[in-house]
Amino acid sequence: MQLSIQSLSKTYANKVHALKDVSINIQQGMFGLLGPNGAGKSSIMRTIATLQEPDSGSIFFDDINVLKEKDTVRRMLGYLPQEFGVYPKITAEQMLDHIAQLKGIQSAGERKDVIAALLHRVNLYNDRKKNLGTYSGGMKQRFGIAQALMGNPKLIIVDEPTAGLDPAERNRFYNLLSEMGENTIVILSTHIVEDVRTLCSEFAIICKGMLLMRGKPDEVIKGMDGTIYTKTISKSEIQDYRSKYKVISAQLKGGQLAIRVFSEAFPGDGFTPTAPILEDVYFNAIASQMDVIAL
């Protein structure tokens, strides 16, 4: 099972060049698409989900031409978009029944069984009679996963699924997503590095419409061994340090800035070597494309 994206480009009517010759091959399992807001992640997701046409490029899911065989793709696709709205005065059970019919499940008895199983899986069975408008943010996201799983999809796309969730709800969501990746291709689009570190066996970094790098989290972290150094400075010194070193991140602690720099050689100047983390890989990759430092 493979999703092959080749030379995908897209420019919108407002002249925003959202995708610039993006090529990625994605195997079965959980694949993370990591990048800042506005990087082009949602443009890739919407194109794979057959919701928009690219200007150029191709997408194949095994031997299925995604851009030309849209109905075939939609029958095997589960999609949780970034902006997931619900009908507030309909219950979860009613909405899933409607979606099941759209997915081609005609038997009322079969729909009832499928819906019950999905609601149990996302821990919403006891809330199945409640109107969706009464659901919390986390419950709505879990309902979104339930509708995305309807029809046993072979390809699942989830776009920024954990943004705005509290830690407990995020952990529940992580467990759900991990289960989903066991027998399907799941593409997780996110700007949250923790999502990728926790869930994904492979990932890619995209920024300003360009694919900057891809790999396995543990391997790319190991590849940065001996290149990350830290130091605590005053806030007033940050511009001076940015002019001298490749500062990839800075975090304010007690009125001081703890900075992390990338350097092939030991920089001296009071810096201390430290073990790299996935955030270092991410910030180092996007540093040449971004003008801001994460605080």
Cα distances (angstroms) measured from residue 55 to each of 10, 16, 58, 101? 5, 13, 10, 33
Could you please report the per-residue DSSP string of 178-199? HHHTTSSEEEEEES-HHHHHHH
Q: Any idea where the domains of the chain sit in the sequence?
A: 2-215, 221-286
pLDDT tens digits, one per residue of 23-69: 999 999 999 999 988 889 989 999 999 999 999 999 999 999 999 99
DSSP symbol at 268: -
For residue range 227-260, list pLDDT tens digits in order.
999 999 999 999 999 999 999 999 988 888 999 9
Residue with token string 């191709």: 58
Structure tokens at 38: 């506005």
Q: What is the mean pLDDT of residues 212-223?
A: 94
Question: Which whole-number Å values give the CA distances from 76 to 34, 226, 286, in the listed order?
Answer: 24, 45, 34
Q: Does residue 117 contact residue 105 with C-beta atoms inside 8 Å?
A: no
Q: What CATH number has the domain spanning 2-215?
A: 3.40.50.300
